[in-house]
């Protein structure tokens, strides 16, 4: 842990402080709040969408029990094994087709859904990172006895009521874990953001990449440290929640 995390982080922090307070300064430092806001906005939206999608898919497999439903759940998580650029290009084909479909029905929104839009960026990120949320939610729901689900159904509760009244309360830690995993992944995601981001919508990872690609590693330290700090916040909250649950 010291060699792989602590030592590099200390070095990055030293560079960040030196550059931020030095004569050269960090480029685009005045836009730090904007980059941070874009990063948090994207991570929050994708985490919520992935969380909702994971809950729907996992519960559909639980209630159905059919092999086709379980196979669909597995296919939904394939995006995590596919490189980011491949997901981005594939998403462009889907979104362009959606744009064309909207045009055919008279909704003239050129580019509103396809590349260069926040909707397209969120869609591609959801395809990429649904798997971590789905796996953790499934693991949490599997801890709920089937007899408890059956008892709730026998009392006349609809599947939606069973999910909100039984499954989610008992699997809330797993749901929270999935949200944290997705959030951390989105915070550091680069290829999809570079290819699909709206004009002017830069994140901390893009800022870091632009500086590092020019071999300005010391100046890239500040946004890199910011990513680490922001990612540690949800991880710390999750660890605190797990510690409370264990005690």
Encode 197-229: b = buried (16+ Cβ within 10 Å), e = exposed: beeebbbbbbbbbbbeeeeeebbbbbbbbbbbe
Q: What is the reported pLDDT for 109?
A: 60
What is the DSSP secondary structure assignment for residue 165, as one 8-state letter? Answer: I
Q: What is the reported pLDDT for 211?
A: 93
What is the pTM assigned to this prediction?
Answer: 0.89
Q: What is the reported pLDDT for 37?
A: 96
Q: What is the reported pLDDT for 10?
A: 94
What is the CA angle 68-74-80, rounded to 5?
155
Nearest to 13 by CA among 34, 21, 30, 207: 21
Cα–Cα distance, 205 to 228 (Å, whole number): 11
pLDDT digits (tens, 9 = 90+) for 186-232: 999 999 999 888 888 999 999 999 999 999 999 999 999 999 999 99
Cα–Cα distance, 131 to 181 (Å, whole number): 10
Q: What is the reported pLDDT for 120?
A: 87
Cα–Cα distance, 123 to 196 (Å, whole number): 10
Which two structure tokens, joined as six digits, stand for 235? 């991880």
What is the DSSP secondary structure assignment for residue 77, as one 8-state letter? Answer: T
Encode 30-40: b = buried (16+ Cβ within 10 Å), e = exposed: eebeebbebbb
C-beta of residue 120 within 8 angstroms of C-beta of residue 113: yes
Q: How far is CA 135 from the centre of its chain?
A: 14
C-beta of residue 88 within 8 angstroms of C-beta of residue 73: no
- In this prediction, the residues of the chain whose per-residue pLDDT falls under 50 are none
């Amino acid at each position: 842990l010291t060699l792989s995390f602590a030592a590099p982080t200390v070095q990055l922090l030293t560079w960040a402080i030196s550059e931020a307070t030095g004569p050269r300064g960090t480029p685009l430092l005045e836009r730090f709040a904007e980059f941070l806001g874009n990063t948090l906005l994207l991570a929050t939206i994708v985490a919520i969408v992935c969380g909702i999608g994971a809950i729907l898919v996992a519960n559909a497999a639980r209630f159905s029990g059919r092999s086709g439903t379980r196979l669909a759940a597995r296919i939904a998580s394939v995006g995590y094994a596919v490189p980011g650029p491949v997901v981005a290009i594939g998403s462009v084909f889907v979104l362009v087709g959606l744009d064309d479909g909207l045009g055919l029905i008279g909704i003239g929104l050129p580019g509103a859904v396809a590349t260069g839009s926040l909707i397209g960026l969120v869609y591609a990120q959801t395809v990429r990172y649904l798997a971590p949320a789905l796996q953790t939610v499934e693991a949490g729901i599997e801890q709920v006895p089937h007899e408890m689900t059956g008892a709730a159904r026998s009392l006349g509760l609809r599947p939606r009521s069973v999910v909100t009244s039984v499954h989610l309360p008992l699997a809330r830690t797993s749901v929270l874990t999935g949200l944290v995993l997705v959030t951390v992944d989105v915070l550091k995601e680069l290829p999809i953001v570079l290819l699909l981001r709206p004009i002017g919508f830069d994140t901390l990872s893009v800022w870091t990449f632009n500086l590092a690609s020019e071999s300005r590693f010391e100046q890239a330290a500040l946004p890199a440290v910011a990513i680490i700090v922001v990612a540690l916040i949800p991880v710390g909250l999750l660890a605190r929640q797990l510690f409370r649950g264990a005690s």
